[in-house]
Chains A and B, each alone.
Chain A
Amino acid sequence: MSKVRVGTTSLGGCFGCHMSFLDMDERIVGLMEHVEFTRSPINDIKHCEPCDIGLIEGALCNADNVHVLKEFRENCKIIIAVGACAINGGVPAMRNHFSLQECLEEAFLDEIGVDNPHIPNNKELPLLLSKVHPIHEVVKVDYYLPGCPPPADAFVKVLTDLLEGKEPSLPKEMLHYD
């Protein structure tokens, strides 16, 4: 049987969700018998090929995030929003309380110790969106894996469910954080 193809990416995120994914430790060996990774920071492949499942960490903060997300949506049968940032905007969305101008001025003009103060405008840099958005506001998301980050067990459960052809569902313990 051919393996299930999984792509992963981090948009505006801290890679904490990816770290948590790897926290499944030796269980990844069993998992690798059934899945193979296409584009992922784990293998450093830069572009997405048609695949079955896309795990998206992080929020939409800039134009590049939008391009990457759209590429995933076009290539993946199932998109899973992973973690608070992808689902709600999370930590990066804290800047939504301020205007983009305020944020950039604080970081590049007014901050103590800034050398050569100017707002970066190199064409290589993706432009920032005026506000940070969760990913479902731009593409259709099939499943949500909550947590900051979601526990490794939750990754295992959701992927195992999908591999077994079931609707993924998390038991209450995995959704209860306090």
Chain B
Amino acid sequence: MNQQHSDHLLHLLHAHQRQHHFISDQAMIDIASRLKLPRAQVEAVTEFYSFFSRKPRGRFDILFSNCTSCGDAVLMQELCDRLGIKAGETRHDGVVSITDTSCIGMCDHGVSALINDRPLHSIDSNKISQIAALVEAEKPLDAWPTEWFEIDNHIQRTDLLLSTPFEAGSALKVMRDESIDETLEKIRYSDLRGRGGAGFSTAQKWKFCRETEEETRYVICNADEGEPGTFKDRLLLTSHANTVFEGMAVCARIINAKQGYIYLRAEYRYLLDSLEATLAARRKDGLLGNAILGIEGFDFDIAIVVGAGAYICGEESALIESLEEKCGNPRIRPPFPVISGYLGKPTVVNNVETLAAAAGIVLHGERWFRGAGTWQSRGTKILSISGDCCKAGIYEYPFGVTINDILNDCGAERTQAVQIGGPSGTLIDASHFDHCIAFEDLATGGSFMIFDDSRDLLQVIRNFTHFFAHESCGFCTPCRVGTTLMKNGMDKVCSGHGTAHDLDELKSTAALVSRRSHCGLGITAPNPIRDGLKNFPELFEQRLLHQKMEPEFNLDASLEEARQLTQRDDAEAHL
């Protein structure tokens, strides 16, 4: 078993990108022959993931978040101006490149960017000028102020999961004294449902996997956490990694898996060393490896695979494709991963928080967990709260907490809207603030973004449509084309060129995309527009031109190039 997985295609490409700042054609040929993969596959993978580049990027490669909570286009432009480059380009001297990137999960830290894979937060104008100076002086990152890179957990409210201490091995010891069926029953009675979004019963998933005929099975921890505004898995992996690993081991024992994987988003690469250290400690303590806790036949180990900047790889079947060194295109389901997953073998994919909760349930019993929450949503939910409030950070609440209570706790005032569950979730206005966080009411994977009345909500919605257009994997036409049409539509409306006709088009495109797309990304991509039109129709109407139709582009301007080439400026040369 190769624990390091240093020869995983993604890891080889990462290593090459870090060293040479791009992936050359020759590098792709070399990597392909080293891994005995088709060259086309290596090329496709290089193209697919946004952290790899076929053109040289700067020795300081800056990825500036464009999230509504941890990004800021104006500050990014300021940095570009100071360094004399355009966003998306590499400076001719090869020192620096700046590109925007989807949410990097630093929403509780103010405006943030990744610099050579390290998150740098709390960026303001002042810091921009300091960054620019350090880059110009080509000071290595280790010589930059260390506090710029220190990540705080910002834990604001704890409950079951975060307030109960967890000792490595404690859940496995409880399990040692139970039959496997007893442990599974405990999870079943707890009514634990997946925390990654869909809310599928965890016991049911594990049971399906366990009941398959195959010999080899896998458990995968989904640490892709790509939904903008979500950073609760970051906290769990920072401070509760043992609980998460223990959850994986519990699952492995139940489904009889010998190998587990953590699929870690590239934005969290800075956690890699500490995670590896925790894994090593567990191996040393006999909590990973052969005959765990002396239990005959309980052999299990965990390897970490680092993604490369693709939101779609949070979707479980795309994640599995990515683990298999391919582009992250979602598979056709069924068969579901529990039947045919990683390498075609039965595979459980669970969110980080689900696995941590499972470990807690095994240790403390199902009552500990069932006691909290609502009838259909047992237990607690860890929320990542960001946006316009005094205390952004991590809040663990029992399910059933109302939006009003949350807004009070985090010191949000004059709240115009809340985006629950990230762009793929629900955008609500004040009339919904008496609703609660629960699978049966407002479901969320953890993202909770607050917008007060100073925000231009249309720009927020526009930002989300750009996110989906960028992250669409391109596999199916309704989503690939539709997300771009919705993006263009929102651009037009926001720029003041939209008409009632454009809103009609947006509505019908939104309906088509959500109905016809292949996976959850496309199905949910129209949500911001649909919720916006439903809950904030007046915001759209105020921005419209009162005429039947306005062209999508400036007709006269589109003749300019031809006017120049022909040196004409007569009446017929204008529109």
Contacts and interface: CB of A to CB of B under 8 A. Distances in A.
Interface of A: 63, 66, 99-101, 104, 119-121, 123, 126-131, 133, 137-140
Interface stretch (B167-175, B275-283, B323-331, B546-554): B546-554
Contacts of A137: 551-553
Q: Which of B553, B561, B562, B566 has its CB near the most chain A CB atoms (within 10 A)?
A: B562
Contacts of B551: 137-138
B559 interface: yes
A127 B553 contact: no
Contacts of B501: 140
B487 to A, nearest CB: 15
B147 interface: no
Contacts of B332: none
A121 B561 contact: no
A81 B187 CA distance: 58
A121 B558 contact: no
A121 B566 CA distance: 5
Interface of B: 501, 548-549, 551-553, 555, 558-563, 565-568, 570, 572-573, 575
A126 B562 CA distance: 10
B375 to A, nearest CB: 45
Nearest to B562: A127
B565 A63 contact: no
19 contacts: A63-B572, A63-B573, A100-B562, A100-B565, A120-B566, A121-B566, A127-B562, A127-B568, A127-B573, A128-B559, A129-B555, A129-B558, A131-B558, A133-B552, A137-B551, A137-B553, A138-B555, A139-B549, A140-B501
B561 A101 contact: yes
B572 A99 contact: no
A127 B566 contact: yes
A156 B38 CA distance: 49
Contact of A127 (B548, B549, B552, B563): B563
Given A63-B575, A66-B575, A123-B572, A130 B548 contact: no
A99 B559 CA distance: 13
A30 to B, nearest CB: 34
Nearest to A134: B552
Contact of A119 (B548, B560, B565): B565
B561 A99 contact: yes
Nearest to B488: A137
A56 B561 CA distance: 26
Nearest to B574: A63
8 nearest A-B pairs in the assembled complex, by CB-CB distance: A121-B566, A137-B552, A127-B562, A130-B561, A138-B551, A129-B558, A100-B561, A130-B558
A127 B570 CA distance: 11
B490 to A, nearest CB: 16
A96 B551 CA distance: 18
B566 A138 contact: no
A133 B560 CA distance: 16
Contacts of A120: 566
A101 B565 CA distance: 7
Contacts of B563: 127
B553 A121 contact: no
B566 A140 contact: no
Contacts of A104: 565
A138 B552 contact: yes
Contacts of B559: 63, 127-130
A105 B99 CA distance: 33
B562 A140 contact: no
Q: Which of B553, B561, B565, B570 has its CB near the most chain A CB atoms (within 10 A)?
A: B565
Nearest to A99: B561
Q: Which of A63, A66, A131, A140 has its CB near the most chain B CB atoms (within 10 A)?
A: A63
B572 A126 contact: yes
Contacts of B552: 133, 137-138
A130 B561 CA distance: 6
Contacts of A127: 559, 562-563, 566, 568, 572-573
B461 to A, nearest CB: 22
A119 B562 CA distance: 10
A140 B548 contact: yes
A124 to B, nearest CB: 9
B223 to A, nearest CB: 39
Contacts of B575: 63, 66
Given A120-B566, A129-B562, 20 more contacts: A63-B572, A63-B573, A63-B575, A66-B555, A99-B561, A100-B561, A100-B565, A101-B565, A121-B566, A123-B568, A123-B570, A123-B572, A127-B572, A128-B559, A128-B562, A130-B561, A131-B558, A133-B552, A137-B551, A137-B552
Contacts of A123: 568, 570, 572
Contacts of B548: 140
Contacts of A63: 559, 572-573, 575
Nearest to B501: A140
Nearest to B505: A136
Nearest to B499: A140
Contacts of A129: 555, 558-559, 562
Contacts of A100: 561-562, 565
A130 B570 contact: no
A100 B570 CA distance: 20
A129 B560 CA distance: 8
Contacts of A119: 565-566
B76 to A, nearest CB: 28
Contacts of B558: 129-131
Contacts of B561: 99-101, 130
A131 B561 CA distance: 10
B486 to A, nearest CB: 15
Q: Which of B555, B563, B567 has its CB near the most chain A CB atoms (within 10 A)?
A: B555
